[in-house]
Amino acid sequence: MLIKEKLNQAVDILKEFDVDCWLTFVRESGINGDPLLTFLAPSSVTWHSAFIINADGSTCAIIGQYDKPTIEELGAYDEVIGFVEGIKVPFQDYLKKKNPKQIAINYSIGSEIADGITYGMFLTLQNLLKDLKMDDRLISAERLVSALRERKSNTELENIRGAVKITEEIWEAVSQFIQPGMKEKEIADFMKAEVEKRGVGLAWDESTCPSVFSGPGGAEAHYAPGENVIQEGHVLNMDFGVCYNNYVSDMQRTFYILEDGETQAPDEVMKGFDTIVQAIQKSKDTIRPGVKGHVVDGVARQVIMGVGYDEFPHGLGHQLGIYAHDGTALLGPKWEKYAQKPFQKLEENMVFTIEPRLKVPNRGIVTIEEMIVVTKDGADWLSHPQKEIILI
């Protein structure tokens, strides 16, 4: 069971970082859910709920009475304490017994994946702890959350590989479907039908998964496919992923729509495509534990800008897991919007995309997005890398 697997991993992480207690504190999680809750409970919870993991190996869930049977059935927690009137008494009694020196909670300035506690719940927690004179023991759980999400277990990697496999099947199917004269929306609808046929979900919001972009101009990313018509002589690229057993893929592929009489893409398109392939390969060759994300990002920028293309306006690659963007460490430049993420060191079993892009004037955007897993001495492909442009 994944929850038990991650709880055991969390105990080891607490010991590694020398933190006594890790508390995830939520209410009405279907509305205001902490991103970490997926690793702690199989469904949403209603009333004030505390999920507590301790460095001594003990675990406890303090939850409303009606949520108790669901958590008990997991068999993952040493104690499951239900309440009716309120959480205050059982929560305070438990912390008195444990008397932790530090209590890590899920807040972060620089990492959205570790910033799960709402401000109202933070204030509530402070008031509960003041009575115990423990309110000065709160620390950020950012390091803990990051490690738990980023260090993929064997089960998690198996699920991600399953998502990649299905995604590649659909890439193959859509490659046979695309024809000039089609609208971007028609292609997206075909891919969504293929997803439904396989009984899986989309990796992110269906309005932009898949994203389909053809020709010069346009939004280029994070935009819904619409009425734009696929034209000969244009580059077509798509961003797409599926959700398999709660874990996602995220990949991009580039196509070229042949003009009458053409048997291959023109030189300017091939130069752009080959540059992207080279940037991805050199970036992957740089990845290994201990390397910082901005170093890997810099390799790709050097390749692309070194042959005269503009700098791409985003990070080279993000982590994946339950979400398409899932983790603190980033393969990205030292830009303000990325805060400390590009300075994090890579670790074994982190899963990343590598996704540089460039513009070919009057043709469109050339981009490929591959997926890799960091190994103990390098990185392995999770996807089968696109080495040849797909001709339509």
pLDDT in tens, 162-186: 999 999 999 999 999 999 999 999 9
Q: What is the pLDDT of residue 224?
A: 85
Quote the tokens at residue 320: 């994946």
**Residue where a domain terminates, one of 111, 128, 149:** 149
Q: What is the pLDDT of residue 225?
A: 87
Tokens 């105990």 correspond to what residue?
11
242 with 297, same domain: the answer is yes
Domain tally, the chain = 2
Alpha-helical runs (H) found in the chain: 2-17, 68-74, 88-98, 119-130, 142-150, 154-177, 184-197, 267-286, 293-306
Tabulate helix, strand, coil % of the chain (nearest 5): 40, 20, 40
Percentage of residues of the chain with pLDDT beyond 90? 95
**Residue where a domain terminates, one of 101, 120, 149:** 149
* CATH number where 30 lies: 3.40.350.10
Q: Within its chain, how far is the Cα of 188 from the centroid? A: 22
**Residue where a domain terminates, one of 149, 178, 208:** 149
160 with 67, same domain: the answer is no
103 with 183, same domain: the answer is no
Cα distance between residue 244 and residue 101, in whole Å: 40
Is residue 237's pLDDT more than 80? yes
Is residue 221's pLDDT more than 80? no
219 with 299, same domain: the answer is yes
Q: What is the pLDDT of residue 226?
A: 86
Q: What is the pLDDT of residue 1?
A: 78
Please name which of 268, 298, 288 lies closest in space to residue 366, comparing C-alpha atoms. 268
85 with 158, same domain: the answer is no
* CATH number where 239 lies: 3.90.230.10
Work out the mean pLDDT of the chain and round it to a whole number. 96
Quote the tokens at residue 214: 């053809």
Tokens 């859509």 correspond to what residue?
174
201 with 265, same domain: the answer is yes
Buried b (16+ CB within 10 A) or exposed e, 273-290: bebbbebbbebbebbebe
Cis peptide preceding 210, ω within 30 of 0: yes
pLDDT band at 223 (very low <50, low <70, confident <90, very high): confident
Is residue 222's pLDDT more than 80? no
Cα distance between residue 333 and residue 316, in whole Å: 8
Quote the tokens at residue 48: 């004030």
Q: What is the pLDDT of residue 106?
A: 98
pLDDT band at 14 (very low <50, low <70, confident <90, very high): very high
242 with 172, same domain: the answer is yes
Is residue 37's pLDDT more than 80? yes
Strand partners, 212: 238
129 with 179, same domain: the answer is no
pLDDT in tens, 347-362: 999 999 999 999 999 9
The parent domain of residue 117 ranges over 2-149
8-state DSSP, 84: S
